[in-house]
C-alpha cells in the first residue's frame, strides 16, 4: 500500500513538472533565442521483495534543452558569412554607382574633354571652341574630385561603423562572460544546467557571430570560451577582453582595432574576418582603397599625357604652352612611433611606371628599403635619397631628410591624394597651345618626288628648337644640314634635330631643299591639339600598355564585378542561412501542436497518478475500518 502511494506521489510530482515545462515552452513559443525544453524521467531504484523486485516510481532526472551543437555552429558560421557579404555588397554597390557609365559618369566627362580637344583642332583660332575645351577640362576635374570626395566619405563612414561594431562586440562579450559566471554558479548550486541562462548566452553568441567570425570552445562546468581572429581570446571563462579603437600609426583618420586583456594589447585589424565588422574591413582593403588609388593613377595619367603635349605647343600669342592640369602631392607620412625624425618628399617621374599600390619605406640602420603593401614584395631602389641623388622606384623620385634610426618607416601613397589637388591651371582660352612651334615645308623649286611631314616636337625645352634648319640633298641618297655635313638618306626614316622630328619620304633630287623653322606665327595650325587628342588615346599607364580610357574601364569593371560577385554570394548565402535556421528551428523551436499533445498526455498521466493516490487512500481506510 505504501509503495502504491509512493509511486503515485512520484508520478504526480513528475508529471506536474512535465506540465510546468510544457507550459514554459508554450509561453516562450515566440521568444527570440528560446530553446524547447523537455523533462527527462528516470525510474527510481527498485526494492527487493521476496524473489523479485518492486518498482518505487519515477523521478525527474533533469530538464534539458533540445539542442544540437553542430546545428548551432552551422548557423553561426552561416550568419557570420552572410553578414560579411551583406556589408561588403552594400558598400560596394555605393562605390559602383559612383563609376556608372553614361554621359554623366567619369567616362562621359573624359569623352567630352576629348571631343572638346577635337573641336579646337577643327577650329584652332575659335575662342568659343577654346572656351568649351576649358569648360570640359574643368568638368573633368570636378567629376574626378566629386568621386574622390564620395570615396573619402565612404571611408569615414566605414570607420565610424566599425567603431560602432567594436562597441557592440564589447557589450556582447561582457554579457557572455557574465552569463558564464552565472551558469557556473547555477550548476554548482543545483548540479543541473540553468536552461534559460544557457539560451541567453547562446543568443548573445549568435549576435556576436553576426558581428565577427567566432570560434566557440566549451569548458568544464558549462562554460563557453570565445575566440576571434587568429585565435585571440575574446571571452575566457568569466573574463572578457576589450576590442578598442586606436588611430593608425600613419593616418589619424584610419582606425586600428586592438584587443586588450590582462596580458596587454594586440593589433587584430588584419586578423579579423567575417561578420559585419569583417565585411567593412574587407570592403575597405579590397574595394575602397584600390578604387581611390586607381582613380589617382588615372588622374596622374591624364595630367602627364596632356601636360607633356601642351608644353610642346604654342598658343595664339606664339608662346609655349604651360601645364594644363595640376595634381595633388604624393602622400608621404612618417610613422608616429618612429624613434628618429625622418621625413620624405616624393614626386612622380613617370605615370606609366606607377603601380597604384601603397608602399612602406623602411630604414635598416644603414640604408632604405621599400616594399609594396598590397602584396608585400620588396621593390628595388636606386639612389641614396639625397636631393641630388634621390631614391627611385616604380615611377617615384623620393628625397629623404631628417635623422632616421634603424626601424623607422615612412608610408608612401603615390596616387591616393592626387585627385583632391587635380585642377585646371589655364583660364585664358588664348593660352591653349593648339599649334606646333615648328613648321616644315618643301622648297617650291624642288624637282624630286620627295615629301616632308610638318614636324613633331620631341623636346620643347631644347633652346634651339625653333632655329631655322635647311636640309639640302647633295645626291638622291645624301643630304646636308644648314650646308654642313653629309648624311645618308633613307626614305621614311625619321630625322631628329634640335628637339624636333620630321620624316622625308620618296625620291628627292640633288639640290632639293626642305626647311624647318619657327611655326608659332601660324595661328591656324592645329597639330598640337591633334597630338593632345592622340596622347589621351595612347597607352600611357601600366608600363605604356594601357590607355587612360582602358584603365578607367578596367577600374569600373573591377568594381562592378566585385559588387556583382558579392551580391550573388550574399543571395546564395541567404539560402544557406535560411536552411540552417530551419534545421535548427525544427529541432529546437517550440511546436505548439506538439506541445498541446504533450499537455494532454501529461494531464492524463497526472490524473492517473492522482487516481493511484486515491486508491492508496481507500486501501488505507479499508485497513483502518477492519482494525476497528
Task: Give the model confidence (pLDDT) of 543-584 as tens digits.
Answer: 999 999 999 989 988 998 989 999 999 999 999 999 999 998
Predicted pLDDT of residue 250: 84
SS3 annotation, 345-363: EEEECCHHHCCCCCEEEEE
Is residue 179's pLDDT more than 80? yes
Question: What's residue 267's pLDDT?
Answer: 86
Tell me the mean pLDDT in the region 399-425: 94
Together in a domain, 115 and 206: yes
Residues 513 and 568 in one domain: no
pLDDT tens, residue by residue, 248-263? 788 777 788 888 887 7
In-domain check, residue 178: yes
Asked, for residue 506, whether it belongs to a domain, the answer is yes
Percent of the chain with pLDDT over 90: 65
Note the pLDDT of residue 453.
92
**Whether residues 202 and 253 fall in one domain:** yes
Query: Three-state SS for 378?
Result: strand
Contact 63, 48 (CB under 8 A): no
Please check whether residues 233 and 100 belong to one and the same domain. Answer: yes
| 101: confidence class by pLDDT, cuts 50, 70, 90 | low
Please report whether residue 25 resides in a domain: yes
For the cut 90, the answer to whether the pLDDT of residue 55 exceeds it is no
Question: Which phi and psi (to 5°) does residue 595 adopt?
Answer: -70, -35
User: Counting every residue, how long is the chain?
Assistant: 628
Residues 141 and 212 in one domain: yes
pLDDT score, position 2: 58
Residue 214 CA to residue 204 CA, distance in Å, equals 12
Kindly state whether residue 338 falls inside one of the protein's structural domains. no
Q: How far is it, in rounded angstroms, from Cα 282 to Cα 450?
A: 63
Counting the structural domains of the chain, the total is: 3
Residue 497 has pLDDT above 80, yes or no: yes
Q: For residue 496, which phi and psi values (nearest 5 degrees)?
A: -115, 125
Residues 28 and 151 in one domain: no
DSSP string, 175-238: HHHHHHHHHHHHHHHHSS--HHHHHHHHHHHHHHHHHS-EEEEEETTTEEEEEETTTEEEEETT
The three cell numbers of residue 300 are 596622374
Instruction: Single out the residue in 482, 498, 518 at which a domain terminates.
Output: 518
Is it the case that residue 102 has pLDDT exceeding 80? no
Q: Measuring CA to CA, which residue among 72, 34, 354 is closest to residue 214?
A: 72
Half-sphere exposure of 267 (CA within 13 A, CB side): 8
The answer to whether residues 34 and 113 belong to one domain is no
Beta-bridge mates of residue 225: 217
The burial of 476, by beta-carbon neighbours within 10 Å (0-12 exposed, 13-18 middle, 19 or more buried), is given as middle
Q: Please report the pLDDT score of residue 628 as a whole number.
A: 65
According to DSSP, residue 48 is labeled: E
- 46 and 146 fall within a common domain: no
Residue 171 inside a domain? The answer is yes
Please check whether residue 199 is in contact with residue 34, taking contact to mean a CB–CB distance below 8 angstroms. yes
Read off the pLDDT band of 492 (50, 70, 90): very high
If asked whether residues 13 and 128 sit together in one domain, one would say: no
Would you say residue 1 has pLDDT above 60? no
Q: Which residue has the higher pLDDT, 529 or 622?
A: 529
pLDDT digits (tens, 9 = 90+) for 222-280: 899 999 988 889 999 989 999 988 877 887 777 888 888 877 888 888 888 999 999 99
Whether pLDDT at 598 is above 60: yes
- Domain presence at residue 90: yes
Query: Distance of CA 168 to CAs 162, 211, 365, 505, Å?
Result: 10, 8, 43, 76
pTM above 0.75, yes or no: yes
Whether residue 475 is found in the same domain as residue 501: yes
pLDDT at residue 523 greater than cutoff 70 = no
If phi > 0 it is left, if psi is from -120 to 50 it is alpha, else beta; for residue 518 that is: beta
For residue range 296-331, list pLDDT tens digits in order. 999 999 999 999 999 999 999 989 999 999 999 999
Rounded mean pLDDT, 45-57:
79
- For 119, the grid coordinates are 573641336
Higher confidence at residue 55 or residue 74?
74
Burial of 440 from C-beta contacts in 10 A (0-12 / 13-18 / 19+):
buried
Band of residue 467 on the pLDDT scale cut at 50, 70, 90:
very high
Report the mean per-residue pLDDT for the chain.
90
| pLDDT higher than 70, residue 370 | yes
Which pLDDT score is estimated for 614?
A: 80
- Structural domain including 469 reads 438-518
What would the mean pLDDT of 174-181 be, rounded to a whole number? 94
The per-residue pLDDT for 602 is 83
Report yes or no on 223 lying in a domain.
yes
Q: What order of strands is seen across the sheet that includes strand 396-401?
A: 343-348, 396-401, 391-393
Distance CA 321, CA 165 (A): 53
Instruction: Supply φ then ψ for residue 486, to 5 degrees.
Output: -145, 120
pLDDT (average), residues 455-476: 92
Predicted confidence at residue 167, as pLDDT, reads 93
Is the confidence at residue 379, as pLDDT, over 70? yes
pLDDT (mean) for 424-432 = 95
Mean pLDDT of 380-404: 93
Within a domain: 406: no
Q: Is the same domain home to 156 and 244? A: yes
Give yes or no: residues 214 and 250 share one domain.
yes
What integer is the mean pLDDT of 593-607? 87
What average pLDDT does the segment 170-178 reach? 95
Amino acid at each position: 500500500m505504501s509503495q502504491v502511494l509512493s509511486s503515485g506521489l512520484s508520478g504526480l510530482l513528475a508529471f506536474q513538472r512535465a506540465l510546468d515545462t510544457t507550459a514554459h515552452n508554450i509561453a516562450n513559443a515566440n521568444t527570440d533565442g528560446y530553446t524547447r525544453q523537455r523533462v527527462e524521467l528516470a525510474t527510481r531504484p527498485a526494492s527487493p521483495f521476496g524473489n523479485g523486485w518492486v518498482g518505487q516510481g519515477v523521478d525527474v532526472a533533469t530538464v534539458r534543452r533540445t539542442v544540437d551543437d553542430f546545428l548551432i555552429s552551422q548557423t553561426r558560421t552561416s550568419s557570420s558569412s552572410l553578414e560579411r557579404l551583406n556589408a561588403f555588397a552594400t558598400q560596394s554597390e555605393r562605390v559602383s554607382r559612383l563609376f556608372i557609365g553614361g554621359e554623366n559618369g567619369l567616362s562621359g566627362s573624359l569623352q567630352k574633354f576629348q571631343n572638346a580637344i577635337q573641336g579646337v583642332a577643327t577650329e584652332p583660332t575659335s575662342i568659343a571652341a577654346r572656351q568649351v575645351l576649358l569648360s570640359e577640362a574643368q568638368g573633368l576635374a570636378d567629376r574626378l574630385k566629386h568621386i574622390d570626395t564620395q570615396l573619402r566619405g565612404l571611408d569615414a563612414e566605414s570607420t565610424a561603423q566599425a567603431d560602432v561594431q567594436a562597441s557592440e562586440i564589447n557589450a556582447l562579450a561582457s554579457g557572455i562572460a557574465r552569463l558564464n559566471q552565472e551558469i557556473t554558479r547555477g550548476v554548482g548550486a543545483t548540479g543541473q544546467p540553468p536552461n534559460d541562462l544557457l539560451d541567453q548566452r547562446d543568443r548573445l553568441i549568435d549576435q556576436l557571430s553576426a558581428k565577427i567570425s567566432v570560434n566557440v570552445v566549451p569548458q568544464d562546468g558549462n562554460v563557453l570560451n570565445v575566440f576571434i581572429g587568429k585565435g585571440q581570446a575574446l571571452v575566457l571563462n568569466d573574463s572578457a577582453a576589450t576590442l578598442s579603437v586606436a588611430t593608425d600609426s600613419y593616418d589619424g583618420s584610419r582606425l586600428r582595432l586592438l584587443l586588450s586583456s590582462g596580458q596587454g594589447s594586440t593589433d587584430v585589424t588584419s586578423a579579423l574576418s567575417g561578420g559585419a565588422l569583417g565585411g567593412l574591413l574587407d570592403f575597405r582593403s579590397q574595394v575602397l582603397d584600390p578604387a581611390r588609388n586607381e582613380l589617382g593613377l588615372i588622374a596622374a595619367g591624364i595630367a602627364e599625357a596632356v601636360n607633356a603635349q601642351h608644353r610642346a605647343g604654342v598658343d595664339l600669342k606664339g608662346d609655349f604652352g604651360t601645364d594644363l592640369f595640376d595634381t595633388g602631392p604624393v602622400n608621404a607620412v612618417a610613422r608616429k612611433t618612429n624613434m628618429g625624425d625622418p621625413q620624405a618628399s616624393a614626386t612622380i617621374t613617370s605615370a606609366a611606371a606607377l603601380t597604384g599600390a601603397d608602399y612602406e619605406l623602411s630604414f635598416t640602420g644603414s640604408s632604405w628599403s621599400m616594399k609594396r603593401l598590397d602584396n608585400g614584395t620588396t621593390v628595388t631602389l636606386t639612389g641614396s635619397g639625397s636631393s641630388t641623388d634621390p631614391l627611385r622606384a616604380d615611377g617615384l623620385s623620393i628625397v629623404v631628410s631628417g635623422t632616421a634610426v634603424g626601424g623607422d618607416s615612412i608610408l608612401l601613397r603615390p596616387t591616393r591624394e592626387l585627385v583632391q589637388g587635380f585642377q585646371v591651371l589655364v583660364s585664358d582660352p588664348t593660352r591653349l597651345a593648339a599649334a606646333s612651334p615648328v613648321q616644315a615645308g618643301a622648297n617650291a623649286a624642288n624637282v624630286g618626288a620627295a615629301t616632308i611631314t610638318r614636324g613633331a616636337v620631341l623636346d620643347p625645352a631644347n633652346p634651339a628648337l625653333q632655329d631655322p634648319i635647311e636640309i639640302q640633298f647633295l645626291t638622291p641618297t645624301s643630304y646636308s644640314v644648314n650646308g654642313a655635313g653629309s648624311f645618308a638618306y633613307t626614305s621614311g626614316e625619321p630625322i631628329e634635330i634640335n628637339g624636333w622630328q620630321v620624316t622625308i619620304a620618296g625620291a628627292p633630287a640633288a639640290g632639293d631643299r626642305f626647311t624647318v623653322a619657327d611655326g608659332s606665327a601660324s595661328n591656324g595650325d592645329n597639330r598640337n591639339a591633334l597630338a593632345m587628342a592622340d596622347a589621351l588615346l595612347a597607352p600611357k599607364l601600366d608600363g605604356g600598355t594601357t590607355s587612360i580610357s582602358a584603365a578607367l574601364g578596367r577600374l569600373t569593371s573591377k568594381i562592378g564585378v566585385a559588387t556583382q560577385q558579392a551580391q550573388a554570394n550574399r543571395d546564395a548565402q541567404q539560402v544557406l542561412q535560411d536552411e540552417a535556421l530551419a534545421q535548427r528551428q525544427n529541432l529546437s523551436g517550440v511546436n505548439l501542436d506538439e506541445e498541446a499533445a504533450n499537455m494532454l498526455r501529461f494531464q492524463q498521466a497526472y490524473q492517473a497518478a492522482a487516481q493511484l493516490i486515491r486508491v492508496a487512500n481507500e486501501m488505507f481506510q479499508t485497513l483502518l475500518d477492519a482494525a476497528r
